[in-house]
Chains A and B, each alone.
Chain A
Amino acid sequence: MGGMLYKDFTAVKGKRILIILSAATLVFLILRFAFPGSDLSETAKGTASFEFSGDFFLWALPLLEATVFFGLPSVLIKGLIAQDEKNKIMAFTKSLPFGKSSYIASKYVFLGVTVYAALSVSIIWCEIYFSRSGDNGFSDIVETLRSFLIILASASLLISGIELPFFLSLGSRRAVGVKTAVLELLFLFVIGWFFFGNLDVFENLDIFKLTEWAQNHEFEINIMVVLCPVIALTLYFLSYKLTCLINRNREADIDG
């Protein structure tokens, strides 16, 4: 298993990804120290920021976190499976004594480690943010975001658990096709909602109220923080079992 993980790490150019993440952390650290503080001011229609650092960090931190939680695992899944197909690794592992289930397990473990790494990097970014934030309204928002990190990680794990069976059973080309179709449908739904839906929710979006809500519902958020990873890990494990089952049945069909 260790060898398979190392092979995957090399296949997706893991060292390069680590260097990029480290560089992003360093840049974030420098910017944080160059632009300390930052606060948001409340307007009649919600919030507005008047400082560069307020604007920058309002978008940079969630954007960076969304990228590592949802972009990174998704790109890695495609890269991993495509590389293995190119090098005929799946066919090769079938001939090895540990069989295909270990091959599938290694992919699930690799993605699990990726989500753990994403969570760890996000924690460090939050710490960097707080190191020079001062005590203000924007800090409350980032504090709320920090309490949601485990929920974000659970969602990321869940999405990987949905994507992996497709990639491992259909192959990267067909799985990308399915994924693109689903994303296009989702995009059409969002566009449709923008045209015909009720957009009052955006007009009345008040980030302060959201923070206030989070502070008043501490217990409910804590329940979510405890339950989300448990549910996500259980479903992730079931996804692994399902992928093994699909592949075993397929092998039986081919043998038959």
Chain B
Amino acid sequence: MDNNQRKAEIKSLLIYLGITFAVSWAMFFLFLISGNRLFDESGGMSGVGNLICTFGMLCPAAGAIITRSITKEGHSLSGENSLMLGIDLKNGKIVFYLIAVFLPWIYTELGNLLKIIIQPGCFDREFFKTAVSDIRGAYMFPLMAFVSGVFFSIGGLGEELGWRGYMMPKLTDLFGFTKSAIIGGIIWGIWHWPLTYAGHNFGTDYKGYPWAGFAGMVFLCVIMGIMLSFVTLKTGSVWPAAIMHAVNNASPSILQFFINPEKVKGMMSNSAVSFFIHFIPLMIISVFVCIAQNRKIKSPKKRK
């Protein structure tokens, strides 16, 4: 990549980030200063909170589309420098679609298992009754998450069209896979901060609020970003990342129905600590992916 191309890539990236952050953060801040709350009295997500998250998730896609119009990169659906909306299942690519659907179940279940191993007292055989009417509902839950992940992936697609479809290819060209995944993850994590401040993922009642939550979100976005970038890179499409994102958000786990938060004591009762433990399996998988990718792609120049 010559100097001019490099400058053009950086300029496009800055335009994209400027638009995406401006639109979504303006919406998030308006939501916060208007006195709305992300959660209602029952502790569930409020109606307006859900709506703001849904619209917020669509902002990166809008940012990418607007930036492409400004930079005249075009809006081709598939191929090089496209919106990456094509679907190709040939040449073993179907494996990465399957990974996208099933991997969130594996690491979420392992994360919950780790919580039980660290603190066996939180395991409660009867806890599922608070969430589902009968035990079959708990066993059925991961399947529901897969189906809703695939069909209700519009939010995930909205984010992935921007982060993995537009930002990551440019960052990868500039810095290579691992560095770009870390930088991209940090940017993506920071983008979530207004919602983290409002209590998304962690609530507001934890030690170290809001900074521990901010750090936790960046941590998740870096390790999750590695996996999402990996499946996007391998398939040349944002669809597996969108599906994986949506399945991850649906939290596909059977064990979660047997972990009673009221029985969680000590450090693990801090939602930021619990969050970190929950995603340790994903972190291990992401490190392996990074090592494997680095062996293949030593630098962006060599890849070219």
**A222–B133 touching, CB < 8 Å:** no
In the complex, chain A residues whose CB is within 8 Å of the CB of B71 = none
Q: A127-B51, A226-B144 are in contact. Are A150 and B151 (CB under 8 A)?
A: yes
Interface readout for A221-237 with B: 1 if CB under 8 Å, 0 if not? 01101100100000000
In the complex, chain B residues whose CB is within 8 Å of the CB of A158 = none
Q: How far does the alpha carbon of A6 sit from the alpha carbon of B48 in the complex, in Å?
A: 35
**A219–B133 touching, CB < 8 Å:** yes
Chain B residues numbered 69-84 whose CB sits less than 8 Å from any CB in chain A: 76-79
* Prevailing SS type, chain A contact patch: helix
In the complex, chain A residues whose CB is within 8 Å of the CB of B150 = 229
B140 at the binding interface (Cβ < 8 Å): yes
**A131–B50 touching, CB < 8 Å:** yes
Q: How far does the alpha carbon of A127 sit from the alpha carbon of B132 in the complex, in Å?
A: 22
Name the residue of chain A whose CB is nearest to the CB of B76: A2
In this complex, the member of A116, A153, A219 whose beta carbon has the largest number of chain B beta carbons within 10 angstroms is A219
Q: How far does the alpha carbon of A229 sit from the alpha carbon of B152 in the complex, in Å?
A: 12
Residues of chain A at interface, number, CB under 8 A: 25
In this complex, the member of B51, B77, B79, B86 whose beta carbon has the largest number of chain A beta carbons within 10 angstroms is B51
**B77–A5 touching, CB < 8 Å:** yes
**A153–B151 touching, CB < 8 Å:** yes
**A127–B76 touching, CB < 8 Å:** no
In this complex, the member of A1, A128, A131 whose beta carbon has the largest number of chain B beta carbons within 10 angstroms is A131
Residues of chain B at interface, number, CB under 8 A: 24
Q: A119-B152, A225-B147 are in contact. Are A219 and B136 (CB under 8 A)?
A: yes
Choose one: B47, B140, B148, B151; the contact of A132 (CB below 8 Å). Answer: B47
Q: How far does the alpha carbon of A150 sit from the alpha carbon of B48 in the complex, in Å?
A: 23
Q: How far does the alpha carbon of A5 sit from the alpha carbon of B86 in the complex, in Å?
A: 11
Q: A150-B151, A222-B144 are in contact. Are A131 and B79 (CB under 8 A)?
A: no
In the complex, chain B residues whose CB is within 8 Å of the CB of A226 = 140, 143-144, 147
A218 at the binding interface (Cβ < 8 Å): yes
Chain B residues numbered 111-152 whose CB sits less than 8 Å from any CB in chain A: 132-134, 136-137, 140, 143-144, 147-148, 150-152
A120 at the binding interface (Cβ < 8 Å): yes
Q: Which residues of A contact B (CB under 8 A)?
A: 1-2, 5-6, 116, 119-120, 123-124, 127-128, 130-133, 150, 153, 216, 218-219, 222-223, 225-226, 229
